[in-house]
Amino acid sequence: MAVRKARAGGRVSATGAHAHTHGSATEIEAGARWSEHAETVLRDAGLRTGGGRAAVVGVLADEGCVLTAHDIVDRLRDQGARGANLATVYRTLDTLRALHLVHRLDAGDGTARYERALPGGEHHHHVLFEDGQIEPFHDDELEQAIHALASRLGVELVGHDIVLHAAPRTS
Residues that bind Zn ion (CB under 5 A): 65-66, 115, 124, 136, 143
φ, ψ of residue 74 in degrees (nearest 5): -60, -45
Minimal distance, residue 65 CB to Zn ion, in Å: 3
| Residues 6+ away with beta carbon under 8 Å from 49 | 39, 42, 43, 57
The residues facing 114 across adjacent strands are 67, 104
Minimal distance, residue 143 CB to Zn ion, in Å: 5
C-alpha to C-alpha distance for 171 and 158, rounded to whole angstroms: 37
C-alpha to C-alpha distance for 159 and 117, rounded to whole angstroms: 12
Cβ-based nearer residue to Zn ion, 48 or 147: 147
Minimal distance, residue 147 CB to Zn ion, in Å: 9
Length of the chain: 171
What 8-state DSSP symbol labels residue 80?
T
Minimal distance, residue 102 CB to Zn ion, in Å: 11
